[in-house]
A and B are shown apart, each in its own frame.
Chain A
């Protein structure tokens, strides 16, 4: 079982992003499970989503305390202790960050770190927004860095959530996230 923890702020699309990734993995024949946790405040409050992928049915319905992989949707979050908490040695981290992945230090030896400037990509694709759309560029980066799913597998689940031009733009965002992500390997 692969255990992934998404960290974002309300409005950034962590919950929907995790669902799209779950559906993509599911379409590739894996079992998947997504559990979101957030408070009453929506936009701006911190959001955690747990995502499990496995080749057999997933039964446990609890939080993930020792993730194999963390997804950090906002550059400000990487310094937070609850984001780094329990991240496994040899694990993976994918961050929305302008920095080069070799500059990222999460306080534990990781096997792979990927960075993509998802905020910049959102500006480029969707224009100026109060809260940038970072989830679909991040999904592209996740596909590239982890291989959990093929980037093409993301398109149908994106299509399931959006229609028309918004769908096209989000697919473009995933593709660009895939292309632009820089990956550091131990």
Chain B
């Protein structure tokens, strides 16, 4: 029977890993990821989960062990945050090139020195060039479901790429909300056991392995796999919906966009609050909707090109900074590149909010919505990026 109960994001992630029948978990604790791996350790101790938990001395080793286990043919899971991800950086580049379908949770947390324990997206976005697929979640249910889908995407024989399921520390990781826990037999039917078609380091089972080419050839293959992943992510979402009755609209969700001339584009936990604000603004006649960017890597260029024809302006809400960049946050830079060649392209407004894990408040969201609509009216963008937090918009914790 499907169980329904209150669950924090970290526990939901641990359930996602358990239901996916993960076999090896090398991990090192770090706030706000700690509860996730402590739940996994508990599941293993209680005998509910049959997996090898490898205690490692740091995140660098966690990823190195994950690579070894995955190369040996195991379904592997790990997780980290912030400084842990940064420390993991060196081996983190290897799974895409080695085509290992490792899954990892990045429990988003800002990076030192200015950040605290709370989330922004710079830790995961720092990994944008590695070749990892990156999916961003809004709540506990989506975290659990995305991990299960993540393995199905990663282990597709046309993909073989690692997948990062990213979710905000505290606002998702420690936030308890209603979760449906799918039945194991349904997950088993959805996600068959893992077997790499051509890669194994186990002696005697070494299969036909593509010859090692140049760096350019390897990166080209990773790029091509990323391109193919776009379709696979959509298909897996449809399959998931058929089996479990929940869909996340693949790479991008358009929410309450009927008659919208403008949209706000978000990632992660702030999306729920934006839904409420958009509903209120719609009721008062404002022509604005929401684009939730669920998949940052591969960047859904073609879908955004199609979608953007409907809107005159996109207000990109960047919970990250790329200081000294060509102008604005990382998501807005990507979007600008994706839309540059279109003859009829929308304006792009850009906002920085929630940096270092400060709250993204309804009032800030109203401000961004009004400003985006205002820019549409005048056609003039006053600055490359608006640092919303530096405005006096009421209390922000």
Contacts and interface: CB of A to CB of B under 8 A. Distances in A.
Interface of A: 15, 19, 22-23, 26, 31-37, 39-40, 48, 57-63, 65, 85-86
B348 interface: no
Contacts of B178: 26, 31-32, 57
Interface string B250-278: 00000000000000000001101101100
Contacts of B361: 62-63, 65
A34 B395 contact: no
Interface stretch (B53-61, B72-80, B84-92, B168-176): B168-176
* Leading 4 A-B pairs by shortest Cβ distance: A59-B272, A60-B273, A34-B176, A61-B272
B362 interface: yes
B351 to A, nearest CB: 15
A60 B172 CA distance: 11
B174 A65 contact: no
Given A19-B6, A60-B273, A65 B176 contact: no
Interface in B381-397: 394-397
B177 A62 contact: no
Contacts of B273: 59-62
B176 A61 contact: no
Contacts of B397: 37, 48, 63, 65
Contact of B177 (A33, A40, A65, A86): A33
B31 A61 contact: no
Interface of B: 5-6, 31, 116-118, 138-139, 170-172, 174-178, 269-270, 272-273, 275-276, 359-362, 394-397
A33 B359 contact: no
Contacts of A58: 177, 272
Given A22-B176, A26-B178, A60 B276 contact: yes
B272 A39 contact: no
A95 B302 CA distance: 56
29 contacts: A19-B176, A26-B6, A32-B176, A32-B178, A34-B6, A34-B176, A34-B177, A35-B171, A35-B174, A35-B175, A36-B174, A39-B116, A48-B397, A59-B272, A59-B273, A59-B276, A60-B276, A60-B362, A61-B171, A61-B270, A61-B272, A61-B273, A62-B270, A62-B273, A62-B359, A62-B360, A62-B361, A63-B361, A86-B395
Given A60-B273, A65-B394, A85-B395, A34 B175 contact: yes
Nearest to B174: A36
A177 to B, nearest CB: 21
B24 to A, nearest CB: 30
Contact of B272 (A26, A37, A60): A60
Given A23-B5, A31-B178, A61 B395 contact: no
A62 B178 CA distance: 17
Given A37-B170, A61-B273, A22 B6 contact: yes
Max count, chain B CB within 10 A of own CB: residue among A36, A40, A86: A36
Contacts of B275: 59-60
Max count, chain A CB within 10 A of own CB: residue among B139, B176, B397: B176
A36 B177 CA distance: 12
B272 A32 contact: no
Given A19-B6, A22-B6, A61-B171, 14 more contacts: A15-B174, A23-B176, A32-B6, A34-B6, A34-B175, A35-B174, A37-B118, A37-B397, A39-B116, A39-B117, A40-B117, A59-B276, A61-B270, A62-B270
Nearest to B360: A62
Contacts of B31: 40
A48 B359 CA distance: 13
A15 B171 CA distance: 14
Nearest to A34: B176
Contacts of A37: 118, 170, 397
Nearest to A86: B395
Contacts of B177: 32-34, 58
Nearest to B397: A63
Given A60-B273, A61-B273, A62-B360, A33 B175 contact: yes
A34 B362 CA distance: 18
A184 to B, nearest CB: 28
